[in-house]
Amino acid sequence: MKKQNAQTGICKIIGESYLEESSLFYKPIYQWLVEYLKTKKPLVLNFGLSYVNTSSSKHILYILRLLKESKEKGIDVQTNWYIEHGDTDTEEDVEDYMIITGMEINLIKNKAIP
């Protein structure tokens, strides 16, 4: 599930992402983020993905790189990833995303996405 709100600057992506054609899902999100970030308004992106396949992971990396570039340009960008306590696989994936992109991601354990 995806949800974005230009009024609040909060975007949520939650569930599991094992899409065959992940670009159909992620391309509109990416485009929305590009347009939103042009406004230079603050943005919070909350991930709550417990599973991400390889195809989806590629698109998440695109999004994280976009956010990092925007943050480097001075835009207030915050990225959070909500995981269940003990979900070491997702925790390792998030750590890998941070290493690959250089984007800081707040790892939040055992809390519901606001």
Q: What is the CATH number of the domain that holds 60?
A: 3.30.750
Q: How many other C-beta atoms are found inside a 10 Å radius of the C-beta of residue 95? A: 13
Give the pLDDT confidence score for residue 1 in this predicted structure. 52
pTM for the full predicted model: 0.90
The answer to the question of residue 28 being in a domain is yes
Q: What is the predicted pLDDT for the residue at 5?
A: 62
pLDDT lower than 50: segments of the chain: none
Contact between 97 and 61 (Cβ < 8 Å): yes
- Looking at the domain assignment, is residue 114 inside a domain? no
- Give the model's pLDDT for residue 20: 83
Cβ density class 27-36: b for 16+ within 10 Å, e for less: eebeeebeeb
Parent domain of 89: 2-109
